[in-house]
Structure 1
Amino acid sequence: MSSTASSTTTTTAAVTRAPGSPDARAAGGGNTTAYLRYAAGKLGSAAVSLFAVLVTSFFLFRIIPGDPVKAMTHGMPTSAEQLATLRRQFGLDLPMWQQFTEYCAAALTGDLGTSYQFHAPVGELIAQKLPATLLLTGVAVVIYSALGLWLGTRSAWRHGGLGDKLNTGVALTLWSVPSFWLGLLLIIVLSVGIGPLPGLFPTGGMESGSETGFAYVLDVAHHMVLPVLTLVAVGYAQTLLVMRSSLLDEMGSDYLTTARAKGLRDDDVRRRHAVPNALLPTVTMVFINLGHVAAGSILVETVFSWPGLGGLFYQALSVPDLPLVQGLFVVFAGAMILMNLLADVLYPLLDPRVGR
């Protein structure tokens, strides 16, 4: 009798918890509700961050020394009346609070203003320079993310060995090197040439200007080698160290011991169990790097005279061209906020414990 009751109870519980049962559907609905609540919270945080970016971009660049109107008319005979007319034309004569409210209202509609020095809409200037930046930094991010993940995994899995020590030492050295200094060093060695070593690559720019068709593609690739190499050298080091540290934290976990006890090969334990659980910090790093794709690298683009957003930002700061600087700052920060939001939304898919 007791056995029959136990069997009935077990069968009832199994039916109740079956995938199509009401309780199972309720549990699934609860998980969906929790995820939507988690995603809504992250979306709200992103909106607050974006508003903070608008506030920061307006006030931060107005404390930069210099008068934009005087900088634009430098070297030209300009009367006080003409200077006042220009200030009125650019809205610089308005009270600060009115400038801020008009700036926020325009930015929320996608209007980033008109550049002082180029006399063109900021959005159009950014759209013109964006493809060059996406090409350069996009290629670099893909290369150094893949390289950092691979080398970081191998270093952690064989930690303490010669390969691990060599990889870690090189990564720490490159991570501490300023990107502009490394770029200048590469120009000296590989562009100008040292002693019998001739210059192999262009010193700057994106193209020679005389190539068409497939020859143009090769010409652009030739100009990309040194700036991409600079970005990869610094970026892969950071990714490697983060991945190595995350995987080392997982190495002593009980589930890895259990997986080995079941007879799984070492490569399967690493690939199917250890690496997926160590990916969360590295996923954050990869998405931050993807956010940098829009921002590019201001210093690297400036050193190599790359015609992207970094060089445009440098030009805008030299005036200062307030609408252009503010617009670029919003685009750079907005890309970072968007990538962080995507990383946060994807976290629960990688680790169901997140967001509960």
Structure 2
Amino acid sequence: MAILHEVGTAPRSRRSGSWGPSNPTVRYGLGRTLSAFGTFLFVLVFNFFLFRVMPGDPIALYTRGRNVDPEQIAKLRAALNKPLGEQFLAYLANPFTGNGPSVKYSAPVWDVILPRVWPTLLLVGTATLLATTIGVWLGIRAGWNRGGKFDRRATSITLFLYSMPEFWFGMIVLIVFAVGIGPFPGVFPIGGLSTPGVDSTSLLGVLDVAWHLVLPVTTLAVIYLAEYSLVMRASLIEETGQDYVRTARAKGLMDKMVRRRHAVPNALLPTMTLVFLNLGFVVGGAITIEKVFSINGLGSLTVDALTGPDVPLLQALFLLFSGAVIFANLVADLLYGYFDPRVRS
């Protein structure tokens, strides 16, 4: 009975402490989270001092080329003449709006940024999902049949697309399918996210937005899928030479079972990291595509803030973009450690 008791209780003891501090997964997750938090704190400090070490008079930089009320200039001067420590504490209390309102738009920076988030997420997020699905499928099929006809054609096409500037490709797509060439008229809208006067919340409005997104989403997806396809292909080719793949084949498993159950799950890990990192950059928008297709997203807002320059808006955008990349990188690290025990150990 003592032996049975020991055998029965040992697994429960291990399970009870499976999520404690001694668990490698927990230690790895805590380490990655603390590292991301430290990185974000560094970005906060760097963002605070970056625009304060710029040469010249900051007030003149804020108000250059604008007719600003003297009372507003006096308030800006008083805010910047406060002790640096007091400014830093006020900035930490509200880093997105602690630097004052947007000079160009005369509104709180968050009120300027928030309406631009949805167009960017809709554009770049949709393109990323399409590019991931198609690119991973192309990489799997090309890498598993390395040297075959499909591999040669797919690799040549993806290399060509990967080397093509997205703004140039966007202009070509816009000319051919929106403006029209010769006897072939344009079919899609020239730019914008919706037709003026159409309610975007109605069914007709949703279809209108989808019709406007066809060209910019296709442009981004074509460029992105080339990157995912090449990374997936290289990763799968590396996995096919591993011992566990040879063992699975030696056991008599069908080729498609070896690919689906053994090779592809491990080859997906580098691609998964790349996908999550790119999702972090989604918030930054696609500046060139948004300008080519006249979409008022975060990318075009960044260009407007730089041409000002609108320093409070630039600080908020820089912090938003950095935080998105740090968070996406953290999610990728946690998932990587969860799926790959070698990372945790």
**TM-score normalised to structure 1 length:** 0.85
Q: Is the 8 A contact 1:256 1:269 kept in 2?
A: yes
Does structure 2 conserve the Cα–Cα contact (< 8 Å) formed by 1:205 and 1:306? yes
Give 2:172's aligned residue. Answer: 185
C-alpha contact (below 8 Å) 1:17/1:24 kept by paired residues: no
Deviations 1:232-288 (A, max 9, x none): 011111111111111111111111111112221111110100011111111101111
Alignment partner of 1:51 is 2:38: no
Q: Is the 8 A contact 1:111 1:123 kept in 2?
A: no
Alignment partner of 1:346 is 2:335: yes
Q: How big is the shift at 1:349? A: 2.2
Q: What is the CA–CA distance in structure 1 between the aligned matches of 2:331 and 2:203, rounded to whole Å?
A: 36
Structure 1 residues 97-131: Cα deviation after superposition (integer angstroms, max 9, x where no partner): 664453334318x7564211222222222222111
Asked if the contact 1:141–1:290 (Cα under 8 Å) also holds between the matched residues in 2, the reply is yes
Between 66-75 and 220-229, report the one with greater CA deviation. 66-75
Instruction: Label 1:298 to 1:164 Cα distance change in 2 as closer, same or farther (>3 A).
Output: same
Q: Which amino acid aligns with 2:336?
A: Y
CA contact under 8 A between 2:132 and 2:228: conserved in structure 1? yes
> Equivalent residue of 1:317, what SS?
helix
- Give the counterpart of 1:166 among 153, 162, 177: 153
Residue equivalent to 1:5:
none
Larger Rg over CA atoms: 1
Match of 1:254 in 2: 243
Does the aligned pair in 2 maintain the 1:294–1:335 contact within 8 Å?
A: yes
* AA aligned opposite 1:196: P
Q: Mean Cα displacement is larger for which, 176-185 or 226-235?
A: 176-185
8 Å CA contact 2:121, 2:283 repeated in 1 = yes
- In the TM superposition, residue 293 of structure 1 has moved relative to its aligned partner by 2.5
Counterpart in 2 of 1:7? none
Instruction: Write the mapping of 1:175-254 to structure 2, written as runs, cut at 5 A.
Output: 175-212=162-199, 213-254=202-243
Matched-pair contact (CA < 8 Å) for 1:61–1:325: no
Aligned residue for 1:58, secondary structure, equals helix
Residue 200 of structure 1: how far off its partner (Å): 1.8
**CA distance in structure 2 between the aligned counterparts of 1:237 and 1:61, rounded to whole angstroms:** 37
Cα distance in 2, alignment partners of residues 64 and 210 from structure 1? 46
Root mean square deviation of aligned Cα:
3.0
- How many residue pairs are counted as aligned between the two chains? 340
Q: What does residue range 66-215 of structure 1 map to in structure 2 within 5 Å?
A: 69=60, 72=63, 74=65, 76=67, 85=74, 87-88=76-77, 91-94=79-82, 99-107=87-95, 113-212=100-199, 213-215=202-204
CA–CA separation in structure 2 for the residues paired with 1:217 and 1:244: 36
CA distance in 2, matches of 1:341, 1:34: 17
Q: CA deviation at 1:74?
A: 2.1
The one-letter code sitting in structure 2 at the alignment partner of 1:104 is L
Report how far residue 144 of structure 1 moved.
0.3
Deviates more, 1:56-65 or 1:257-266: 56-65
In structure 1, the gaps of 5 or more residues are 1-11
Residue 149 of structure 1: CA displacement?
A: 0.7
Unaligned runs of 5+ in 2: none
Q: Is the 8 A contact 1:49 1:337 kept in 2?
A: yes
- Choose which of 269, 272, 293 in structure 2 pairs with 1:283: 272
Q: What is the TM-score with the length of structure 2 in the denominator?
A: 0.87
Matched residue type, 1:211: V
Look up the match of 2:30.
40
Q: CA deviation at 1:61?
A: 4.7
**Cα distance in 2 between the residues matched to 1:42 and 1:64:** 37
Q: In 2 relative to 1, CA 313–37 (structure 1 residues): closer, same or farther, beyond 3 Å?
A: same
CA shift digits 1:138-188 (9 cap, x unpaired) = 111110011111101111001111211221122122222222222122222
Contact in 1 for aligned 2:59/2:73 (Cα 8 Å): no
Distance 2:57 2:263 in 1: 54
Query: Does the Cα contact within 8 Å between 2:59 and 2:77 map onto a contact in 1?
Result: no
Cα deviation for residue 16 of structure 1 reads 6.8
SS in 1 for 2:341: coil
For 1:328 and 1:36, the matched residues in 2 are separated by 33
The answer to whether the 8 Å contact 2:61/2:309 transfers is no
Name the CA shift for 1:209/1:19 in 2 (closer, same or farther; >3 Å).
farther
